[in-house]
Chains A and B, each alone.
Chain A
Amino acid sequence: MKQLLTAVILLGTLHAQAWTIESKVQVGSKGEFSDTVTLFCRADENLCETVCGDKNACHKEQELCFNCLGTANPILRTVFTEVDRLYRNTLQAVPVLDAAKVFKNNHVFVAARSIYNFYSAIDSVEVQTRFQNLCPNPSAQPLLVLEKNLNNEPTRIKYVVCDGTGPYNQEMQVLEYSPRVESGASEIKLNQP
């Protein structure tokens, strides 16, 4: 009985997630610009309902990101200049409930074409390549997920949202600090924990 229950639970968590997240700058009714993220859910996906009670989509404004618009934050500096050198995708998917928490608070979603990029032009091909390098499949808009501290400053690069195959098939995958270094010396074993 216990084994059956475990198997059912495992199967449940392994069930592929069916949602996408889109980040964009929106214009409000009074002409006000805001940075927003929208979570779209497929009909059979519960995530949106868990997050905001709406079965189809959840929309939120990415409010205060302390000192993000400028060159003050070193995490953003890493994101736009060398994230693919220092981080790798573990391909480990974030469970749905955790993804809901991430979407709801204390995290900021950053795309390659982003207003937070103060290090190069907004259309920079290099930045696009950097973000793509973190995803296993070609993704239209890979999103990096940064954790914010109590002062609303991004402090950690945590996840990347990559496309799977087909629509509504994105996944939030865990990133890990793992410098992409090579060594010519045989006795050196790289990236030991």
Chain B
Amino acid sequence: MQGFCDNNLAIKQGFIFDAESQTKLSYFELNQKIEDLIHTFPEGKFLYAVKANNSLAALITYLALLRSGQCILLLDPNLNAEQKQTLLNQYQVEFLFDLATTESDKQLPQFIKTGYQSDIAIHADINLLLSTSGSTASPKLVKLSLKNLAANCESILAYLPVKPDDTQVCTLPMHYSFGLSVLHTHLQQGANIVLNNFSLMQKPFWELIKTYRPQGFYGVPFSYQLLTQLGLKRLPLDSFSYFAQAGGKMPLKITELMHSWCAELHKPLFIMYGQTEATARIAYLKPEILAEKMQSIGQAIQGGKLKLCDEAGREIVQAQTIGELYYSGDNVCLGLAENRADLANIEAIDWLATGDLAKFDQEGDFYITGRLKRFIKITGKRISLDEVEQIFASLLTENQIQTAYSVVGQDDRLLLVVTDLLDDEQQDKLVNEIAGLLAIHQKYVQLKQITVIPRLSNGKCDYPEINRQCLNQDAVNV
């Protein structure tokens, strides 16, 4: 059942190669390392934080913790010391694997005691905690079970052509649910996995592609933007037999470019939809109908169901009617956590509210039309506008700037809105600090001035109106 982490790994045929340490292990050896590491864990169920890049040490650690029924918190290795400490404290994490440097193949990954101890026992079903927004280091985490992971892995393998003799060169980090799902499916199949942390903009990445000739390419919209900018015809992409995209809605222009190139070479392109709250994957579009349904996310994965509800919570049965998208399936998480106490219990979620607005066509294929919640994506990173607004407020206070403020935006465009005129120096400072804190490029952040922050009758900010006024300014300036 959980072939991606259980003892069956030992009989699989492929290899795992760590490009950084240049270490190669067979699945048999990998399994041995996992068993050896499990023997070093103390008795009982605890919370282990794992801060790691893609590496063999990280993979061994993750699989050993999963197999022995521990609870794992996967941390983005780019978190700064303060963000890391906040999470460790909030969740009273007992043990920490800090695998910042690639460990040698000889010794087993080491963990340390954090000093935190909690009386709050972790629910038996909670095995993995993932962040939905790596960038703002929000302490909100998704609670996942081994059953969630196994169910999603199985559903994904029901439609993606991952084969035992495939090779996968990682393109996504393992602390990200999409990246993790790629690892699970390839481990399940016993495929070859080349772990690395290079970006598509680095030569060593393309050398790995030329050497290992992988079959599947997995990317977020930003990855495909890079591929198309670098030039599809000029990159060594010939070994790839399929392409898969998730992690947000891809700009139509890029989908069209990718589609026409893939169609010409008879390589399927899978447009997929998912959320960490559903482990990773929720839906995908059959590649053979991509040409006619370029903007669609298709239908639910095997074992899952999608539905739309109107504002009153009634199910929408009429095609082309917009409502909130709900998903049901064995991969739906056990709820969200904000602190250690939330790990004591689980929530039974029959229908997961995705926060996305969608419609479906006559054939039952779904289309995302917008977002209910105030989230945007910047180069694939999910950013909560409400969280940024809070950060912006404290920055204004710190810098002794008195002004009304708000934060709005669209994908790849974050707008900091104020009502008072700020000098250039103040503007640059605010933009740079926000970009720095969110770890995004400053070109995606702009400061806007409007006369007054419009509000609704209930006193809340009228965000659509603020957005409209900012966009109008752009139109005038052009």
Q: Are A and B co-members of a single complex?
A: no
